[in-house]
Amino acid sequence: MAGVERAAERALALCRQGRFAEAKALLEPLTRVARPDERVLALLGAICLQLGDSAAGAGRSAAAIAFYERSIAVRPDHFQAHYNKGVVLYQSGQGAAAAACYEKAIALAPGLAAAHSALGVVASETGAHDAALRSHERAIALAPQDSELHNNRGLALDRAHRHDDAVRSFDAALALAPDFGAAWANRGVALHQLGRLADALASADAALAIDPGDAEALSNRGLALHDLRRDGEAIVALERATALAPSLANAWANLGATLNGLKRHDEALAAYDRALALDPGLAEARGDRLHTAMLLCDWRGLDDEIARIGAAIDAGEAVVHPFTLLATNASAARQRRCAERYVAAHWPASADDAAIATAGSAAGERIRLGYFSADFHQHATMDLMAEVFERHDRRRFELHAFSFGPTGDDPMRARAMAAFDRFHEVGTTGDRDVAALSRSLGIDIAVDLKGFTQDARPGIFAARAAPVQASYLGYPGTMGAGFIDYLIADEVVVPEAARVDYSERIAWLPRCYQANAAWQAVAPPRLGRREAGLPEDGFVFCSFNNSYKIGAEVFAIWMSLLRQLPGSALWLIEANSGAVANLRREASERGVAAERIVFAPRTNRADHLSRHRLADLFVDTFHYGAHTTASDSLRAGLPVLTRLGTTFASRVAASLDRSVGLDDLVMASAADYEAAALALATDPAWLQSIRDRLAAALPGAALFDAAGFARDLEQLYIAMHERQRAGLPPRHLYATRTGAE
C-alpha cells in the first residue's frame, strides 16, 4: 500500500505541473491488479478529463466515467467517486443521471455541501425551483464560507425570476471572494433583469476587470450598453465577445440587436443567422431575425419561417417577442398565446407580487393618473397625446409622468413636462423601484403607453405600480399579462366578439380609440412633385408605413396597380437602404421599373404632413396597418384606403376612416382593396368627391376633437377607479353606457 500511496502522491505532483499524460502512465499499471485501489481509479478519472483536445471531450468523459465506475465497484461507499461521476455526467448533458449520482453521494456523506449544491443546479435547470433552492440552502448551511455555493444559489434564484434575491446571493458570494469574476458577471445579468441597467453595466465591468477575456461578461456588457442606448460602445464589446468566443450564440444574438439599433439591418440579419446556426433553440433570436428580415423587406423564405414560428407558439414551444407577430398573418388568438408565453417566461406571477399593497387616493381626492413611457419627447406618441395631457380635467385628476426615455431637450419634451403635475425621471431606476415609487405617490391608475414596443418596461407593471393598470395606444394588441387589467380600445379595433382574444378587460371608447391633437389646417407643401421625385401628371399611390409592415401580398397588389396604370408611381418612406434595394428588386421581378417606386427621406413633422398633399391616395398595408401614419394622412386631406383585418393592428385605419366619415374606403378583402384602388385611380371625379368630403369633415371630425376625447377617456378612468374603490374586479367597460359581461 505504501507503493500505491507514493505513486498517487507523485501523480498528483505531476498533475499540479500540468503533466497529465505522465501521471496517467504512472498510475495505469496499478489498475491491472485483481483489486485496484479505489483512490487510484478515481484519480485516473480526473486525469482523463484533462487529456486531449476539445474535440475528444466525449471520449474523455466516457473514459473518466469508466474509471469512476471501477472505483465504485471496488468500494461502493466511495462517496467522492459517486459525486465526481455525477459532475462528469452533468458536463456531458446527462442531468438526470448526474442527479442520481449526487443523491447517492449525499446518502453516503450527508455533509458533502458540493453535492447538495450540484443537485440544486440540476433541479433548477429542470424548473424544479423550490427543490433547487432547498438543496442550495442546505449546501450553504453546511459551508457558509464557500463563495461558489452562494453563486450557485444566486443562479437558481435568477432562473426562478427572483432577481432581487439573486443579487443578494451574488453579493454574499462577493463578500467572501471579491475577485470572483463569474459572480460579478452573474450579478450583472440579474440586475439587467431588474431594469437596473447602469448597475448591470458596472457589474459586467467588475467581472472584466478581473478577467478581460470573459466573453460572457463582454456579451452582457454589450447588451447593457445597447439598452442604455450606447450602441457604438455596445458594438465594441460584442465584437470582442464574438472574437474571443465565436461559438457563444447569445453574443451573436446581442450583436444582432445592437446592429439593428444602429439600422445596420443587413449585418444584424447575418449576426442572427450565426446565433441560430450555433443554437437553433434560441427562439427569441429567431423571432428577432424574422423582424429584421421584415425591416429589410427580405421576403425570401419568410412565409415558411412565419409558419414554423406560429406552429411552435401554438405547441407551447417558443418564446418570441410579441411585437414580431403583429406584422404577420398571425391570428389574434395566436398573438395572445405568444404574449402569454412571453410574459410567463419573463415576469411569472408570484404570491409576493399579488400581495403588494396599493393604496391609491383617498375618498374625495383627485384621481391620480400615472402615464408611463419612454416617449415624452419628439415622438409620434407625443404628437398624439400632448394635447390630451393638457386637456385633462385637473379638478378631478392629478397627472404624473414616469419617463424612462431620453432626457435631452426638445420643444415636445418641454411641453410634456409642463403638462403634468409631476414629472418623474426614472430611466436609471429599476423596475421594482419605479413601481414602489408609483405606489408611494398613491397612483390610482397606471397607464402603460409602451406595451411591447421599443424601450418598453413591462416589469414595472409586473411589480404593480398601481391598483389599476391599463394598456393604451403604444401597443396594438393584448399584453397577455395578468398584471394589466384593461386595454383601452374602440369597437372597431376590438369588436365585442373578439374579447376572448385579449387577456385584459376591454375599456371601449365611444369613438376612435386613437388620441389626436385638435385639427389645424396643414400648410401647402414647400416642394412640388418634380422636386419630390414624383411624376407631375401620373397617379401617385402613397404608403408611408414603416418597412416591416410591407408584406409580399400587398406589394404584389401595388405592383399590379402600377402595371395597369402607365405613368403612375408608388411613394414610400425611405426606411433603410436594404429595404430600398429589396423593394426595387421585387418591383423589377414583377415587371415594374424600379424608378417607379419613389422613396421619401425622413424630414420634420411639418414638412412631412404637408407633402402628403402631393399624393393622390394613401394605400394601407395589411397585417399591421397605418396608425399615426394614417391619422397624419387624413389630417393632411389625403384619403386612406384600407382592408379590415381580424387583429387590432390591422383594424386601426378602419377606425380612423370611420371617424372622419370615410367608411366606403374600408374594404373587406384584398380583392376589394385592389379593385377600389384601381377604380379611384381611374375615376378622378369619384376620388375628388371623396377628397372634398374629407376636407369638409376635418374641422369637426371626432378624430381631431381633443377636448371631447379627453372627456371620453376620463369617463373610462373614473369607471375603473370606482370599481376598484368598491372592491370590485375589473370588467369590460363602455364610456357612454353600462355594459355587462
| Cell numbers at 124, concatenated | 433548477
Residue 318 and residue 410 share a domain: no
Predicted confidence at residue 732, as pLDDT, reads 97
**What confidence category does residue 56 fall into, taking pLDDT thresholds of 50, 70 and 90?**
very low
Is the distance from CB of 642 to CB of 529 less than 8 angstroms?
Answer: no
Number of compact structural domains in the chain: 4
Residue 298 and residue 214 share a domain: no
CA–CA gap between residue 385 and residue 514 (Å, rounded): 9
Predicted confidence at residue 355, as pLDDT, reads 56
Predicted confidence at residue 153, as pLDDT, reads 97
**Residue 251 CA to chain centroid, in angstroms?**
17
- Residue 341 Cα distances to 282, 283, 347, 482, angstroms: 15, 12, 10, 12
Q: Is 358 helix (H, G, I), strand (E, B) or coil?
A: coil
CATH number at residue 586: 3.40.50.2000
Predicted confidence at residue 375, as pLDDT, reads 97
Predicted confidence at residue 40, as pLDDT, reads 65
Mean pLDDT of 243-267: 97
Residue 723 and residue 695 share a domain: no
What is the pTM (predicted TM-score) of this model? 0.91
Predicted confidence at residue 64, as pLDDT, reads 74
Predicted confidence at residue 741, as pLDDT, reads 39
| Domain end point (choices 327, 346, 365) | 346
Mean pLDDT of 694-698: 97
Predicted confidence at residue 53, as pLDDT, reads 39
**15 assigned to some structural domain:** yes
Q: Would you say residue 207 has pLDDT above 90?
A: yes
Residue 554 and residue 582 share a domain: yes
Residue 458 and residue 372 share a domain: yes
Residue 306 and residue 210 share a domain: no
Which has more confidence, 82 or 148? Answer: 148
Q: Would you say residue 399 has pLDDT above 80?
A: yes
Which has more confidence, 378 or 66? Answer: 378
Predicted confidence at residue 427, as pLDDT, reads 94
Question: What are the backbone dihedrals phi and psi of residue 506, each rounded to the nearest 5 degrees, phi first?
Answer: -90, 130
Q: What is the pLDDT of residues 570-600, one digit of tens each?
A: 999 999 999 999 999 999 999 999 999 999 9
**530 assigned to some structural domain:** no
Predicted confidence at residue 409, as pLDDT, reads 87
Q: Would you say residue 190 has pLDDT above 60?
A: yes
Residue 546 and residue 494 share a domain: no
Residue 623 sits in which domain range?
A: 540-704
Burial category of 262 from C-beta neighbours within 10 Å (exposed 0-12, middle 13-18, buried 19 and up): middle
Which has more confidence, 457 or 88? Answer: 457
Is the distance from CB of 296 to CB of 319 less than 8 angstroms?
Answer: no
Q: Which residues contact 367 (CB under 8 A, 6 or more apart)?
A: 361, 396, 397, 398, 444, 445, 717, 718, 721
CA–CA gap between residue 413 and residue 423 (Å, rounded): 11
Q: What is the pLDDT of residues 559-573, one digit of tens each?
A: 999 999 999 999 999
CATH number at residue 75: 1.25.40.10
Q: What is the pLDDT of residues 110-148, one digit of tens each?
A: 999 999 999 999 999 999 999 999 999 999 999 999 999
| Domain end point (choices 346, 365, 396) | 346
Strands 617-619 and 640-643: parallel
**250 assigned to some structural domain:** no
The size of the chain, in residues, is 741
Mean pLDDT of 529-552: 97
**254 assigned to some structural domain:** no
Q: Which of 5-14, 228-237, 310-319 has the lowest mean pLDDT?
A: 5-14
Residue 435 and residue 309 share a domain: no
Predicted confidence at residue 364, as pLDDT, reads 77
Q: If you search the block for the grid coordinates 437558481, which residue do you land on?
A: 156
Predicted confidence at residue 738, as pLDDT, reads 38
Residue 309 and residue 191 share a domain: no
Mean pLDDT of the residues in the chain = 92
Is the distance from CB of 548 to CB of 295 less than 8 angstroms?
Answer: yes
- Residue 130 Cα distances to 168, 476, 741, angstroms: 18, 37, 38
Predicted confidence at residue 33, as pLDDT, reads 59
**533 assigned to some structural domain:** no
Predicted confidence at residue 537, as pLDDT, reads 93
**What confidence category does residue 737 fall into, taking pLDDT thresholds of 50, 70 and 90?**
very low
| Domain end point (choices 226, 243, 268) | 226
Is the distance from CB of 582 to CB of 298 less than 8 angstroms?
Answer: yes
CATH number at residue 408: 3.40.50.11380
| Cell numbers at 729, concatenated | 374586479
Q: What is the pLDDT of residues 433-466, one digit of tens each?
A: 999 999 999 999 999 999 999 999 999 999 999 9
Q: What is the pLDDT of residues 308-350, one digit of tens each?
A: 999 999 999 888 999 999 999 999 999 999 999 999 999 998 6
Mean pLDDT of 45-72: 64
Mean pLDDT of 537-548: 97
**Amino acid identity of 639?**
P
> Minimal CA–CA distance to 457: which of 425, 488, 487, 434?
434
**444 assigned to some structural domain:** yes
Predicted confidence at residue 349, as pLDDT, reads 82
Predicted confidence at residue 72, as pLDDT, reads 74
**What confidence category does residue 186 fall into, taking pLDDT thresholds of 50, 70 and 90?**
very high
Residue 696 and residue 646 share a domain: yes
Mean pLDDT of 288-299: 98
Residue 427 and residue 333 share a domain: no
| Cell numbers at 318, concatenated | 417558443
Q: Would you say residue 28 has pLDDT above 90?
A: no
Predicted confidence at residue 35, as pLDDT, reads 66
Q: What is the pLDDT of residues 473-489, one digit of tens each?
A: 999 999 999 999 999 99
- Residue 270 Cα distances to 146, 259, 273, 309, 327, angstroms: 43, 10, 5, 19, 21
**153 assigned to some structural domain:** yes
Q: Is 598 helix (H, G, I), strand (E, B) or coil?
A: strand
Q: Which residues contact 592 (CB under 8 A, 6 or more apart)?
A: 559, 562, 563
**239 assigned to some structural domain:** no
Q: Would you say residue 52 has pLDDT above 60?
A: no
Q: Which residues contact 534 (CB under 8 A, 6 or more apart)?
A: 540, 569, 571, 598, 614, 615
Residue 695 and residue 564 share a domain: yes
